[in-house]
Amino acid sequence: MENHNNVTEFVLLGLFMNQDLKLMCFVIFLFCYFAIFLGNFIIFVTITCSHLIQQPMYYFLCHLSLMDLAYTSTIVPRLIRDLIAKEKNISFGSCMTQLFTAHFLATVEMFILVSMAFDRYVAICKPLHYMVIVNRQRCNTMILMAWGVAFWHAIAQMLMVVRLPFCGPNQIDHYICDVKPLLKLVCADTHIANILVIANSGMVVLTTFLVLVASYIVILYNLRKHSSEGRRKALSTCGSHVMVVVLFFVPCISTYIRPPSASKNDKEFSMFYTVIGPMLNPLIYTLRNAEMKNAMQKVWSNKLSILFK
């Protein structure tokens, strides 16, 4: 298909059209971004500056917090700005950059969640072989694989959109540059592109989610052999991870598994994995985790005592 692209910039319509609602949401999302940044920053520093970094579960959690910081920083600042800005234009190049970066970081986060599930599976189902199976070399390999798979996924999404012809209108009915709202602006048949989006994003997310569900079914089955105290501790740890997985994957599946013609609530669904999930993750992983709370108390009391000496 020859690319006849007459569009040099897009206009992000954002979440709402009501001006009073925009001002209220500006304050809410500003607070949300502050909470995301502070919460994930505290977890990242706590783990890297304590003995927890030696444990695979917290090693993955450290990377998850870093991804949450990076991912939301590609989306939320622009969302906050557009809530009060008169001009909501974004250049074609900046739009493609945001599309690539958002898909890249979200996919890395998705595979980090898979790595965390693998860690819990080995810890509960094969405890005697845990230190051999989940060693630091294998953890690093899983992180590198996550980055590699995420890069090829994101580059495929971006190249598919870049090659399509945009002739106008240029108003994106969303608060971010994403594949599905962009396909609605293409002045050509997008039937194949829609199938590719569902195959590349929708089915990958759905398959990964089903694998995670299957892994936790196996974990729950194997917990029967543990003591009541062991079951309680394992369920507490796994419960936190399941909450994070549901917050991330269910809205993603709802967004990408459906064709664009049925995508009336994509903006609302995407709020869960772009804002709400990253904001709640630090709370989910700390409120029910005594080890994490103890490490936070030691690390930050030491840092504050050094700061105020």
**Short-list 149, 269, 262, CA closest to 204:** 149
Q: How confident is the model at residue 155 (pLDDT cuts 50, 70, 90)?
A: very high
* Sheet architecture: strand order including 89-91: 89-91, 9-12, 171-172
CA distances from 177 to 23, 136, 191, 262, 283 (A): 22, 36, 20, 18, 29
Q: Is the dihedral of CA 301, 283, 122, 153 positive or negative?
A: negative
Average pLDDT for 163-185: 87
Q: Are 53 and 291 in contact (CB under 8 A)?
A: no
What are 23's two structure tokens? 């001002």
The pLDDT confidence band at residue 23, using thresholds 50, 70 and 90, is confident
> Looking at the predicted structure, is the pLDDT value of residue 260 above 70?
no
| Rounded mean pLDDT, 59-87 | 92
Contact (CB, 8 A) for 172 and 11? yes
Q: Is residue 169 reached through a cis peptide bond, with omega within 30 degrees of 0 on the bond before it?
A: yes
**% pLDDT > 90, the chain:** 38
Distance, CA of 63 to CA of 67 (rounded, Å): 6
Give the residue-averaged pLDDT of 127-146: 92
- Res 17: pLDDT: 67
Quick one: tokens of 303? 């840092």
Q: Over range 256-283, report the average pLDDT.
A: 82
Helix %, strand %, coil % of the chain (to 5): 80, 5, 20
Q: Which domains does the chain have, with CATH numbers?
A: 9-308 (1.20.1070.10)
Q: How many CB atoms lie within 10 A of CB 158?
A: 20
Residue 1's pLDDT band (boundaries 50, 70, 90)? very low
**Mind listing the pLDDT tens digit for each residue in 75-128?**
999 999 988 888 889 999 999 999 999 999 999 999 999 999 999 889 888 888
